[in-house]
Chain A
């Protein structure tokens, strides 16, 4: 079982040859591939991280813009509402004023007509009272 012979050195030489061949056929090309893949992945990762940062910056920018325009829109709405209220109040005041004026005018007209009617009535009262006087007194007098 323990018989050493020329198998030993030849096996060693054979192993060294195998090592050289495997180094050329297996270790070198595949290690190169692994290294290249590593650097590829790393560069891609860096690239992706840059893009992610850029996208996040854009998101932030957009959000800021969105907030600004929302504030602007709110301000616009508020000012428009204020203006509308002002206009409404103004119109209401005008309308009330006009209504007041018309009412006063109508009142004046009414007063005037009343006075006229009273005057006319007064004249007729005179005439009628004279007639009545004539009729009552006229027979006795006449």
Chain B
């Protein structure tokens, strides 16, 4: 993204720095890690765990305060899972789909709401964990593993019949689907979040006050939508693997 570097000449504001493709590397042995992603993801995880502990510390029959909020979140992800997987199948998959939604949602919103860029790093900058391709690919691959696991545990080797089920002519496409699913999942999320952060950053760079606010609000909206889409598609893929063919295709965005 060298093409954006000319914008650095405009920087008169500490908020308005733009660094893309630079990472704050941690090295463990000979492994390289993106430190900024881990820092923000730990904060996201800490938020989620704290909210969960606070919500379940003193469970009441009539929910109040944080318990009510978290019950609303739970009912929301439960509805996602239930809509995709059906009343009978959704329970074992609720933690996976729910955690996907909550992690992506809180990550995205943390990128939009927490002013990460005020915190100085030696290199790179803090941003939403989901704006790093590693995170989204990790989540998408886990989704692939999840639906393979769902298919095998439900139907054993009969799971492979879905590749030749309507007609063997579609075999290449069916195999290709297993690659396009994680690819589209990960790039959709990554692209949306990174693009949103870049747009906001560029606008802040050009006009620091007020003008970026509508774009920021739009960013909040798309962030939430992307979390919903990711969780919904994960549920749809798992459902498809569990049910075999005959289930309608859920494809969106």
Q: Real complex partners, A and B?
A: yes
Binding site for B on A (CB under 8 A): 1-12, 14-16, 18-19, 21-23, 25-27, 29-31, 33-34, 36-37, 40
- A12, A22, A26: the one contacting B138 at CB < 8 Å is A12
Distance (Å) between the CB of A130 and the closest chain B CB? Answer: 133
Establish whether residues A40 and B61, one from each chain, have CB atoms under 8 Å apart when the complex forms: yes
Binding site for A on B (CB under 8 A): 1, 20-21, 23, 28, 31-34, 37-38, 41, 45, 48-49, 52-53, 55-56, 59, 61, 63, 70-71, 74-75, 78, 91, 94-96, 98-99, 102-103, 129, 132-135, 137-139, 141-142, 194
Establish whether residues A1 and B20, one from each chain, have CB atoms under 8 Å apart when the complex forms: yes
- B38, B41, B134, B139: the one contacting A4 at CB < 8 Å is B134
Establish whether residues B99 and A2, one from each chain, have CB atoms under 8 Å apart when the complex forms: no
User: Which 10 interchain pairs have the tightest Cβ spacing?
Assistant: A26-B52, A6-B31, A7-B134, A23-B95, A12-B138, A11-B138, A25-B52, A19-B99, A8-B134, A29-B56
Contacts of A10 in B (CB 8 A): 33, 38
Establish whether residues A27 and B33, one from each chain, have CB atoms under 8 Å apart when the complex forms: no
Interface of B is mostly: helix
The total number of A-B Cβ pairs within 8 Å is 114
Contacts of B45 in A (CB 8 A): 14, 18
CA distance A29 to B67 in the complex (A): 11
Q: Which residue of A lies closest to B135 (CB)?
A: A11
Interface of A is mostly: helix
Establish whether residues B23 and A8, one from each chain, have CB atoms under 8 Å apart when the complex forms: no
Distance (Å) between the CB of A101 and the closest chain B CB? Answer: 92
CA distance A34 to B68 in the complex (A): 11
Distance (Å) between the CB of B221 and the closest chain A CB? Answer: 24
CA distance A18 to B71 in the complex (A): 18
Distance (Å) between the CB of B76 and the closest chain A CB? Answer: 12
CA distance A37 to B21 in the complex (A): 50
